Structure 1
């Protein structure tokens, strides 16, 4: 048992050291939030996005799916395809995409990043089926589709993605800025100002190693 505990402790120290080494070797000047222009292409990993370094390129295009497909087939709102001589092929296993002007993260389809910074902001859109209603004219039950939206943020240093909620701001994000955290805690209208606070955080804080 003692030998197993020693091995586990050694393993944890090794993992921690590797993570710290990766963090220390990050060149902040390569972060996409400082890029003057975005390189077009496919991000296979968060690292590709973080450093503005798409790993693949080609004739890539985003194709929207119908509301019915999203609601009844549980399909993503859109999909990324690559075109070649054999036609269109769905792209699989990737993190995001850049069309040369806009940045997208894959999360229930591709969602445009609307602001970059220490925490990049995007809105996840989709369709959700609600309870059906009976139509006496043709004796059928029809489902109503409701659009849903979640605001999410990406930590540019770690790749962690959080729902933009009062809890996540208070617990994980704002503790890095004590003054802003205290302002948030005392704000009685904070639940209606979540994006305001994440933007304030981005203005006041820059990524560090």
Structure 2
């Protein structure tokens, strides 16, 4: 009888002690600031968000910045409060998740990218810069970077035809469909999400 009671107690302890993950089905997002990737992955922000208001900054990219736009988010906060937060990986307002994966000391003008998809691979958009030759020397060109965050490792990959093929390589059917696509650069996000949905069971529980 004692052994049975001990087993039951252990079962309920393990069940209640089960780690929650940000990608779990029906997870309730906890508002707050994430200091690192692990806090983000485990839905456990360690610094309170306190309903701080958000502002947006829109940046254009491409020729004359007219090809498209990316929206960044900033947290409005007094400098005295901002200094107390320290290093920040991202934050959640209780509804959406915003990341700045470079991890640096929080400041009120820090820009965050909003996650457009949360799964085996998370998706968000960012801007990248590269120098291009001109008749008068070199100029900086801005372009869209579609990024995939590996929920197992925290590694971020800039999506391209090559890198997407590497991600979906284990899914022969999906890879074949992508190979037959005529405008591959237009559907990188779609295939990343399709792979993530089909392979949600590959998420590491460590």
Alpha-carbon distance in structure 2 between the residues aligned to 1:160 and 1:198:
15
Unaligned stretches of 5+ residues in structure 1? 1-26, 68-76, 133-143
> 1:118 Cα deviation (Å)?
0.7
Looking at secondary structure, tell me which structure has more helix per residue.
1
Instruction: Give the superposed CA RMSD.
Output: 3.6
User: Does structure 1 residue 179 correspond to structure 2 residue 181?
Assistant: no
Unaligned stretches of 5+ residues in structure 2? 1-16, 60-71, 103-110
Q: Which residue of 1 aligns with 2:6?
A: none
Alpha-carbon distance in structure 1 between the residues aligned to 2:168 and 2:35:
30
> 1:63 Cα deviation (Å)?
5.0
Q: Which residue of 2 aligns with 1:119?
A: 121
The alignment of Structure 1 onto Structure 2 pairs a total of residues equal to 163
Alpha-carbon distance in structure 1 between the residues aligned to 2:40 and 2:81:
27
Deviations 1:170-189 (A, max 9, x none): 12x11131221122223232
Alpha-carbon distance in structure 2 between the residues aligned to 1:170 and 1:58:
38
User: Does structure 1 residue 31 correspond to structure 2 residue 21?
Assistant: yes
Deviates more, 1:190-199 or 1:56-65: 56-65
User: Does structure 1 residue 45 correspond to structure 2 residue 36?
Assistant: yes
> 1:61 Cα deviation (Å)?
4.6
Q: TM-score, normalised by structure 1?
A: 0.62
Change (3 A) 1:29 1:197: farther
Alpha-carbon distance in structure 1 between the residues aligned to 2:198 and 2:38:
24
Alpha-carbon distance in structure 2 between the residues aligned to 1:87 and 1:54:
17
Decide whether the 8 Å contact of 1:98 with 1:104 is kept in 2.
yes
Alpha-carbon distance in structure 2 between the residues aligned to 1:101 and 1:116:
12
Alpha-carbon distance in structure 1 between the residues aligned to 2:155 and 2:90:
14
Decide whether the 8 Å contact of 1:118 with 1:206 is kept in 2.
yes
Q: Which residue of 1 aligns with 2:46?
A: 55
Alpha-carbon distance in structure 2 between the residues aligned to 1:50 and 1:167:
26
Deviates more, 1:150-159 or 1:122-131: 122-131
Decide whether the 8 Å contact of 1:129 with 1:146 is kept in 2.
yes
1:155 counterpart (150, 153, 162): 150
Alpha-carbon distance in structure 2 between the residues aligned to 1:130 and 1:194:
25
